[in-house]
Every structure is written in structure tokens, then in C-alpha cells.
Structure 1
Amino acid sequence: MHARNLNMVKTSISHPLRIDEVKAPDGRFEELWKSAGPRLREILLDGGKILIHCRGGIGRTGTVAAQLLVELGMPHEKAIKAVRAARYGTIETRDQERSVCSL
């Protein structure tokens, strides 16, 4: 069934947020996040859905997901646990954990 048959509107917005493999977000990411972060939070607060992905779907994806949860008011440790509960092994490195906890 197509979205138009359900009177739904399909919307896609891309925000390429570059983080090197197995690394934590850096200054380059933070600069891009200044525009992408508020928009992503707005979508979530309005009840929308977002897709976060990287090549492996674990380290960088989990780090960004946890960052969003923290920015939406969840405590750091709880955000990391929630992301790891949703996908085992996510947020792969101590640097990635530290980046979430430094928010």
C-alpha cells in the first residue's frame, strides 16, 4: 500500500553528520550538530520519527542517539543504558561514552 492511499505525507530530510569510524564526535560534528540537533529534537518532540545510521550501526549511531536523549532531558547514564538496551554493543568506546557524559 502506498503512503498516498493512506493520506500520509512522506518526508525525508538528510543531515550528514560526519564522525570517523570508532571515534567520538569532534568539532566538525559539533558544528554540523548546531543546525541538525535542534531540528531532530523538534521532530521527536512533535511525535515524529527519525533514522540515525552509520556503517556498522553501533558506535556512532548509538552515540548520536544517546546524545539526543540527553539533550531531551534524560540523565547521561540512563541514556546510555537505554540505547544499549535497544541495541546490544552500541556506544563502543570510552571516548564515545565520555562524549555523551560531557553534554
Structure 2
Amino acid sequence: MTGFVIHALPVLRGILAIAPMPGSGGEYAADLEHLKDWQPAMVVTMTTSAEMVAAGAGNLGQDVAFLGSRWAHVATPDYGVPDADAMHNWDRAEPIALSALRGGGRVLIHCKGGCGRSGMAALRLMIAAGDAPDAALARLRALRPGAVETSAQMRWARRGGAEATDAGGGIR
């Protein structure tokens, strides 16, 4: 049994989930197998590349693509929010994730521990999907207490709804 727990809730016609980074508990292969069984349409990584390498998940993007899922890397420091480069990737990923959810697909967002950064991104998607911000936060925190850890993350999440005009690059 790994520490890779997927916390999922319905959004639109699909399932949105947050989780810790595969491998963060030392069981990358088992976590990846669990992810494969969950069958996400898309995985959004909110960790930095250094965090991924340290957890043995340096090839996560390739491994997710091999599972048949799309992958977006929105590199964000722990307790932080996306910088301009990461926002470029978020702006491309968000409409793809929303489309997957509208179509009944599954979207998994992870950070290192599956709480702050992943909660921030999940809340932003929930708001972009039409959920009222306070109700969305209450629903998310009922599932994963402590989701969205800082006031900066809360401000970023509540700006939800940004639409991208280009769905290329940064996504696999």
C-alpha cells in the first residue's frame, strides 16, 4: 500500500482529483500503477522539476504520456503560485482540463503533498467550471482539509476562468 491517495470529486460531468506526487512516498512504480488504474484524461503537475527528480519522478511526463494521458507541467515552488512561465503552461492546460471534465473525463492535479498547490489549481478549475468560490472551497476542503495553504494561493485560485487561445506547447 502506497501513500498515493487520490482525493476525487465530481466537477461538471467529470472527476477532478488532487493527490501527492507519484513517488513522493518512495514507491514510484506502485504509484504510477495506481495512476494507470485511475485512468486520468489529464495529469497536471504543480511541482518543480527538482522536486520531481528528488522523488524519483523525473520521467513522470513521459510515463503519463505512455499511459495515454495528457500531461501539463506548471512548475510552482512549494507554498507558491505560478510565475509568468508557469502561467503560460497553466493558460494552455486549463481549457484542456475543463474540456476533459465537460466530456466526463478525469483530471488529476498533484503537487508534492497533494494539498496546497494542487488544491489551489483544483479550486481555480472548479471556479472556472462555474462553481461559486466559497462553495467550491468548502467542497474541496471537505475532501482534503487544508487544501490551498496560503493567501497568495487563495488569491490565484479565485482568479479562475482564464481562457487560453492556444492549446499547444507545454502539454503532452
TM-score range, shorter chain: 0.7 to 0.9
Give the corresponding residue for 1:6. Answer: none
Deviates more, 1:75-84 or 1:88-97: 75-84
1:96 aligns with one of 130, 133, 153: 153
- Identical-residue share of aligned pairs (%): 32
- The 5-angstrom pairing of residues 21-100 of structure 1 reads 21-100=78-157
Distance 1:83 1:26, change over 3 A: farther
Aligned alpha-carbon RMSD (Å): 1.7
- 1:17 equivalenced with 2:74 (yes/no): yes
Which of the pair is proportionally richer in strand?
2
Shift of 1:30: 1.8
- The count of residues paired between Structure 1 and Structure 2 equals 95
Distance 2:128 2:70 in 1: 20
Shift of 1:102: 3.1
Shift of 1:54: 0.7
Shift of 1:12: 1.1
Distance 1:79 1:26 in 2: 24
Distance 2:70 2:119 in 1: 20
Which of the pair is proportionally richer in helix?
1
The answer for unaligned runs of 5 or more in structure 1 is 4-9
Verify the 8 A CA contact 2:74 2:82 in the aligned structure 1.
no
Verify the 8 A CA contact 1:25 1:96 in the aligned structure 2.
no
